[in-house]
Amino acid sequence: MSEVRAGQAVSVHYTARSSSGVVVETSMHREPVQFVAGGDGVIAGVSHAVLGMRAGERRCVTVGPEQAFGIRNARLQQVVSRRELPERIEEGEQLVAVVDDKELDVWVRVLEKDHAVLDANHPLAGETLEFEIVVLRND
């Protein structure tokens, strides 16, 4: 079996854990993830981690925020009036906001009686993650 090269299609299973060891996501109970190695179909840290691996190989890698979901940016948080949000919204939910005619995913970080804090940072921004990756096949 050949090693995974940049530009090659791969199929993997993975488990991502926070720095405290809590599983934040896994593909183990669903279809494997397919992407182009070295491409931008998944986070850079995973896309590059598979390079040089062979089918059946397992690898654990630490992926910093720069190669995962980015550094948290305080400017991407905004306080809005509670009246501007849907009535049945809950803390932690994701919304789509329109800013300068562009759609932007935002999360409700804080929900108070009169205001809310919306955050356009990915929920895992700023996190260093541990990925366990198993290459199932490479084409």
Residue range 2-14: mean pLDDT, rounded: 96
Rounded to whole angstroms, how far apart are CA atoms 29 and 97? 32
* Residue 96 confidence (pLDDT) above 70: yes
Rounded to whole angstroms, how far apart are CA atoms 113 and 69? 30
What was the pLDDT predicted at 139?
Answer: 78
Amino acid at site 4? V
Amino acid at site 95? L
Residue range 19-29: mean pLDDT, rounded: 95
Residue range 18-42: mean pLDDT, rounded: 95
Rounded to whole angstroms, how far apart are CA atoms 9 and 15? 19
Residue range 31-58: mean pLDDT, rounded: 96
* Residue 71 confidence (pLDDT) above 90: yes
What was the pLDDT predicted at 36?
Answer: 97
The residue among 65 and 137 whose pLDDT is bigger is 65
What is the side-by-side strand order in the sheet with 115-119?
77-81, 115-119, 102-111, 94-99
DSSP string covering 93-104 = -EEEEEETTEEE
* Residue 79 confidence (pLDDT) above 90: yes
Residue with tokens 């940072």: 121
Residue range 77-98: mean pLDDT, rounded: 92
Other C-beta atoms within 10 Å of 48: how many?
17
- Structural domains of the chain, ranges and CATH numbers in brackets: 9-70+124-138 (3.10.50.40), 74-119 (2.40.10.330)
What was the pLDDT predicted at 65?
Answer: 97
Contact 67, 44 (CB under 8 A): yes
Contact 89, 81 (CB under 8 A): no
Count CA atoms closer than 13 A to 33's CA, side-chain side.
Answer: 21
Residue range 34-59: mean pLDDT, rounded: 96
Q: What is the mean pLDDT of the chain?
A: 94
* Residue 1 confidence (pLDDT) above 80: no
Does the reported pTM lie above 0.85? no
